[in-house]
């Protein structure tokens, strides 16, 4: 099971999970599962669950259990016992055709899905698929970047604390659409809360120059690239955005402060 983050905010985790206890394998499940869990297995009702419990101590002589073991390599639960939050980006009522397409389903966290988006719509027609995080045309990552802004002649070299700059978005394309998107999911406020992460990156960048990283690399005999991943976080170098919380935010800021180069 891979834990991924919300496709809208990239802050909270959105992992699917099965509502059952942990078992080594199917045989262990048959031997130990309480009735409540047995009932979640596909094809098992009240009568069969009781029968499994009655016969599990003598399972070699139980036809039912032997049948189940030979037909189940994994613990297949009824769908209703597997949980995953999915948002319908486009309202099903007004766009019945798009509502069926895959890009309309977006794994999203409780806050984005229920608290903030609710029934609000930000896609008005078929040509706006690029606003859906599960569309291959989704353009948020390229069209919008997190950026630090300074005043009073301050710049990156004079930042001492998080009040020395403001965090905002810079728009390269589709400004109106993404302003609305950011507004709906309250991405500004939710990321301003994490301004400490910016200071964290800036501090580390000052502490570890490339030559120092190279020196450490020589001493411990681990590649410079690996040392950088260990110090600054591997999500800056190798992760899909949706795999790790706040990857886009950290990557955009790391580029903005020239900790990593634009093509990373």
User: Judged by CB under 5 A, does residue 181 bind Zn ion?
Assistant: no
Using the minimum distance from each CB to Zn ion, give the nearer residue, 37 or 252: 252
Using the minimum distance from each CB to Zn ion, give the nearer residue, 187 or 259: 187
How many Cα atoms within 13 Å fall on the side-chain side of residue 194? Answer: 19
Question: For Zn ion, which residue of 33, 49, 106, 112 counts as binding (CB under 5 A)?
Answer: 112
User: Are 149 and 168 a contacting pair, CB within 8 Å?
Assistant: yes
Using the minimum distance from each CB to Zn ion, give the nearer residue, 98 or 109: 109
User: Judged by CB under 5 A, does residue 8 bind Zn ion?
Assistant: yes
The residue range among 3-11, 29-37, 90-98, 212-220 that interacts with Zn ion, by the rule CB under 5 A, is 3-11
The residue range among 99-107, 108-116, 119-127, 198-206 that interacts with Zn ion, by the rule CB under 5 A, is 108-116
**Cα–Cα distance between 106 and 181 in angstroms, integer?**
14
The residue range among 63-71, 112-120, 133-141, 222-230 that interacts with Zn ion, by the rule CB under 5 A, is 112-120
User: Judged by CB under 5 A, does residue 246 bind Zn ion?
Assistant: no
User: Judged by CB under 5 A, does residue 89 bind Zn ion?
Assistant: no
**Cα–Cα distance between 250 and 264 in angstroms, integer?**
12
Using the minimum distance from each CB to Zn ion, give the nearer residue, 107 or 233: 107
User: Judged by CB under 5 A, does residue 259 bind Zn ion?
Assistant: no
Q: Quick one: which of 42, 17, 16 has its CA closest to 29?
A: 42
User: Judged by CB under 5 A, does residue 6 bind Zn ion?
Assistant: yes
Q: What is the DSSP letter of 32?
A: H
Q: Quick one: which of 84, 83, 81, 1 has its CA closest to 41?
A: 81
Residues 6+ apart with CB under 8 A from 131: 89, 122, 123, 138, 139, 140, 174, 177, 178, 181
Q: Could you tell me the two tokens for 97?
A: 């055709």
Q: Could you tell me the two tokens for 133?
A: 């995080």
Quickly count: other Cβ atoms within 10 Å of residue 200's Cβ: 15
- Least distance to Zn ion from the beta carbon of 239, Å? 17
> Which contiguous run of DSSP H or E holds residue 105?
strand 105-107
- Least distance to Zn ion from the beta carbon of 51, Å? 44
Using the minimum distance from each CB to Zn ion, give the nearer residue, 9 or 148: 9
User: Judged by CB under 5 A, does residue 244 bind Zn ion?
Assistant: no
Question: For Zn ion, which residue of 98, 109, 159, 201 counts as binding (CB under 5 A)?
Answer: 109
Q: Which residues bind Zn ion (CB under 5 A)?
A: 6, 8-9, 109, 112
């Amino acid at each position: 099971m891979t834990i991924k983050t919300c496709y809208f905010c990239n802050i909270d985790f959105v992992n699917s999970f099965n509502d059952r206890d942990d078992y080594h394998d199917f045989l262990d499940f048959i031997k130990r599962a309480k009735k409540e869990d047995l009932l979640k297995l596909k094809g098992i009702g009240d009568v069969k669950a009781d029968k499994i419990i009655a016969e599990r101590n003598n399972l070699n002589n139980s036809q039912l259990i032997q049948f189940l073991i030979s037909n189940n390599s994994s613990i297949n639960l009824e769908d209703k016992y597997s949980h995953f939050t999915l948002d319908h980006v486009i309202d099903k009522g007004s766009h019945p055709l798009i509502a069926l397409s895959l890009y309309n389903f977006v794994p999203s966290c409780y806050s984005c899905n229920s608290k903030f988006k609710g029934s609000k719509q930000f896609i008005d027609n078929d040509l706006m698929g690029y606003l859906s995080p599960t569309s291959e045309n989704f353009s948020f990552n390229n069209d919008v970047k997190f950026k630090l802004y300074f005043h009073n002649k301050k710049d990156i070299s004079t930042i001492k604390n998080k009040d020395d700059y403001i965090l905002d978005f810079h728009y390269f394309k589709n400004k109106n659409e993404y302003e609305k998107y950011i507004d709906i999911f309250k991405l500004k406020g939710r990321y301003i809360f994490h301004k400490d992460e910016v200071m964290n990156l800036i501090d580390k960048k000052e502490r570890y120059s490339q030559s120092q990283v190279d020196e450490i690399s020589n001493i411990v005999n681990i590649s410079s690239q690996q040392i950088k991943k260990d110090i600054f976080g591997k999500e800056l170098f190798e992760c899909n955005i949706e795999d790790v919380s706040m990857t886009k935010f950290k990557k955009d800021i790391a580029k903005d402060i020239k900790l990593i180069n634009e093509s990373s």
